[in-house]
Amino acid sequence: MSPVRKPPVSQSSRLRVLFSCVAASSLLFAGLGPAAAATSAPSDPASIEKTDAADPGDVQRQEKLEQLSNSVDPDFYTPPATLPEADGAVVRSEPADFFLDPVKLIRPNATVTRMMYKSTDSHGDAMAVTGTVLVPKKKWAGSGERPVIGYAVGTQGLADKCAPSRQMGVGQEYEGPMMAALLESGYALAITDYEGLGTPGSHTFMARASQGHALLDGVRAAQGLGVDGLDAGNPVALVGYSQGGGASAAAAELAPEYAPDMKLRGAFAGAVPADLSEVADSLDSGLYTAFLLFAIDGVGTSNGLAPASYLNAEGMKEMNAARSECTIEAIGSHAFVDTAKLTKSGKKLSDVADEPRFKAALKEQEIGVGRKPEVPVLLSHSLLDDVIPYATGRDLAKRWCAQGVNVSWDATAGPAHIGGYIAAVPRALHFLKSRFDGKRQLSSCWRL
């Protein structure tokens, strides 16, 4: 009787295993992230020791994480007085680190470069943005030049310490598993920090044009770094989920005019917050109220709507706290806050957002209104998403379809917002490979 042979494990299976294992690890480490460490941990060790029931091991852990969060040279993030004229022009760069865990045991097999580059904000003004370029050390096995992924991260927070280029260097970036999966596929990654994360000024969270420009110019900068194998000839795709999904979708529809020479092949955008008015209603006074604070500060600041003009003293206290926090701590700090107690008018923040002075600003952030991608896109959204309504993502797909865009719609049942991302990964990896292999995408528009 001949032995039973097991079928060979496919590359996609290996990638799913890799992603699942590292994702599990990252979720375990999430509570140790800079959100919980750098902000909540007092900088004075003596003050830690005076807290109730302080365990010596906890004190040492908090001290170590505080050191890690401040280990990046802040001078790198200070822009020069004059920026280059061209969008995507590199201002400066330096070798950097990328770890998948805060203990620094898992390091992807890739070269890591931190960079600052010139981009354009929502108002057409020059801005300096930082980011990270990852290039696998293994030779590209596909045809043509190695593809570059413009990678847009999900919500990081508002504080400078939350910048992905900072968190990656100390093993605190929660999107590290997806980045590792893409590197394993052989893709180079250009990861933007967005406007105001790390660099001076406010992080314009969910400002559509600023995020889209920063993502596209991050790819241009990566191709202009002089890294072996990266140049303007690389095929490109965009990837992002949640805030990153908004940035990826915005960049995809801005690209025809803003980056017409880029060899863009497609864009994956998951859980896209395409209409911030709808998202505000979903977030208000719930578990993710912090994201609403991030959004009204980011979009409001970008449009001259100072929070102090509509928030009372308690509201400004909540806002200032949110400005110093990264995602994980912010979620816990502001969960289920009654936002009606934060405003001068006594209205909930989502109702304030319906006032005329906000409506124009929010309308400007809508995706799929008068703009469209010229490449195939994959939109994914979980029916069980508890942060961004499923209907918001589906309506974006319908708007793009009505404009003739080749949209593939991926409805999943991933549990909650985070589960939706994990559920989307296999399809996203297949989508990217198909685009770089030159295959035709079948549209889902007929069934939307």
Q: Which amino acid is at 378?
A: L
69 near 33, Cβ under 8 Å? no
Q: Which amino acid is at 432?
A: L
Residue 264: pLDDT band (50, 70, 90) is very high
Percent of the chain residues past pLDDT 90, beyond the cut: 68
Give the residue from 189, 187, 276 showing the smallest Cα distance to 173.
Answer: 189
The pLDDT score that the predictor gives to residue 57 is: 55
The pLDDT score that the predictor gives to residue 389 is: 95
The pLDDT score that the predictor gives to residue 267 is: 98
| Helices of type H across 126-259 | 164-169, 176-184, 208-223, 243-258
Q: How far apart are CA 149 and CA 215, in angstroms?
A: 10
15 against 96, higher pLDDT = 96
167 against 52, higher pLDDT = 167
pLDDT(36) > 50? no
Q: How far apart are CA 397 and CA 435, in angstroms?
A: 19
pLDDT(29) > 80? no
- From 30-34, 172-176, 185-189, 395-399, the region with the lowest mean pLDDT: 30-34
Q: How far apart are CA 388 and CA 275, in angstroms?
A: 9
The pLDDT score that the predictor gives to residue 10 is: 47
Across 97-101, 261-265, 362-366, the highest mean pLDDT is recorded for 261-265
pLDDT digits (tens, 9 = 90+) for 291-326: 999 988 888 877 778 888 889 999 999 999 999 989
pTM given for the model: 0.85
Q: Provide mean pLDDT across the span 207-212.
A: 96
pLDDT digits (tens, 9 = 90+) for 349-384: 988 888 888 888 888 899 999 999 999 999 999 999
pLDDT digits (tens, 9 = 90+) for 268-280: 999 999 999 899 8
Give the per-residue SS3 of 200-217. CCCCCCCCHHHHHHHHHH
pLDDT(196) > 50? yes
Tokens of residue 31, six digits: 């509570």
pLDDT(13) > 80? no
35 against 210, higher pLDDT = 210
| CA 380, chain centre distance (Å) | 15
The pLDDT score that the predictor gives to residue 83 is: 96
DSSP state letters, 35-79? IIIIITS-SSHHHHHTSTT--HHHHHHHHHHHHHHT-S-GGGGS-
Averaged confidence pLDDT in the chain: 85
The pLDDT score that the predictor gives to residue 134 is: 97
- From 127-131, 139-143, 186-190, the region with the lowest mean pLDDT: 139-143
Q: Provide mean pLDDT across the span 427-432.
A: 96
- From 36-50, 60-74, 115-129, 343-357, the region with the lowest mean pLDDT: 36-50
